[in-house]
């Protein structure tokens, strides 16, 4: 689905990431870890075409990102749900409409989605907040709304950047359960986090691989957790 081949990225100056190769297979579950500033967010951005690698090749669903037009990238985003570290919303629209935004922009806003929408909001525990505006939400509610928005179009891949970054343990457990459930439905999941206890908690429920970014390289961190 997403393939990186010998990818390097530099923001100018030294390379932040180099010689990174990875294939995200359908239905796989990955954790991405590493110290702050190691390049986790950059790595995820390479995975959804927000950044073009300075060296090497990235293929999204079989297409080379360098050969993709801006519209191709936009269309591929409809198959990749992204949960950002700082979840951004359209602050003038209520939560329900923000969650439905991927459908709106895809022109797939249909009546039967209203039912799905309610189900999805109760699934992330936001039924009662559907009419609230995003600035009124707490950190945890924002994270869950962002997750709902990321999955509403039933994407093939879900990339989450520190989804538990500013929520308490109980809430992060809940969020993790949601992501594991999605993975069981066949979605590819990749979670960037530096919260090792979250990874340990997940390992008992799901066959997860843990990747670590260290010294600009991507390594498979296995049994040491």
Partner 1 sequence: MNAVVAKVLGFLVGDAQADRVVPPAGFTVRLTLFTSAAMAFLMVFALALSLASGRLAATWSSELDRGATLRLSAPPEQMAAQTAVAMAVLQTTPGVATARLLSADEQRALLAPWFGPDLPLEDLPVPQLIEITETGAGFDAAGLRLRLAAEVPGAVLDDHARWRKPLVRAAGALRALGWVSILLIGAASAAMITLAANAALAANAQVIEVLRLVGATDGYIAQAFVRRFTLRALAGAAAGVVAGLIAVLLLPSAGAEATFLTGLGFRGWHWLLPLLIAPILGAVAYWATGVAARKTLEGLT
Assess 212 for contact with partner 1 (CB under 8 A): no
Nearer to partner 1, 33 or 143 (CB): 143
- For residue 215, what are the contacts with CB-CB under 8 A and spacing of at least 6? none
Nearer to partner 1 by C-beta: 27 or 94? 94
Among 6, 25, 37, 74, contact with partner 1 (rule: CB under 8 A): 74
Residue 133 binds partner 1 (CB under 8 A): no
CB-based contact 53:7 (threshold 8 Å): yes
What burial letters (b/e) apply to 169-181, b meaning 16+ CB within 10 Å?
eebbbbbbebbbe
Restricted to residues 79-98, the positions that interact with partner 1 (CB under 8 A) are: 82, 84, 88-93, 97
Alpha carbon distance 197, 203 (integer Å): 10
Nearest to partner 1 of 19, 97 (CB atom) = 97
> H or E segment at 117?
helix 112-123
In the complex, minimum distance from the CB of residue 90 to partner 1, in angstroms, rounded to a whole number: 6
In angstroms, give the least distance from the CB of 85 to partner 1: 12
């Amino acid at each position: 689905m997403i393939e990186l081949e010998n990818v390097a990225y530099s923001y100018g100056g030294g390379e932040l990431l180099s010689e990174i190769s990875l294939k995200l297979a359908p239905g796989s579950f990955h954790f991405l870890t590493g110290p702050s500033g190691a390049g986790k967010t950059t790595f995820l951005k390479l995975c959804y075409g927000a950044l073009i690698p300075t060296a090497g090749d990235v293929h999204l669903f079989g297409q080379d990102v360098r050969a993709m037009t801006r519209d191709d990238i936009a269309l591929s985003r409809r198959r990749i749900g992204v949960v950002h570290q700082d979840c951004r919303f359209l602050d003038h629209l209520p939560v329900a409409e923000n969650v439905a935004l991927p459908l709106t922009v895809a022109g797939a806003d249909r009546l039967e989605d209203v039912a799905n929408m309610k189900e999805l909001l109760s699934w992330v525990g936001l039924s009662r907040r559907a009419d609230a505006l995003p600035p009124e939400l707490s950190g945890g509610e924002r994270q869950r709304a962002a997750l709902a928005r990321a999955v509403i179009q039933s994407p093939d891949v879900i990339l989450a950047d520190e989804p538990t970054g500013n929520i308490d343990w109980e809430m992060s457990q809940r969020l993790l359960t949601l992501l594991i459930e999605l993975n069981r439905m066949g979605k590819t999941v990749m979670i960037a986090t530096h919260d090792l206890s979250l990874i340990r908690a997940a390992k008992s429920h799901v066959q997860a691989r843990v990747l670590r970014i260290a010294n600009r390289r991507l390594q498979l961190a296995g049994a040491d957790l």
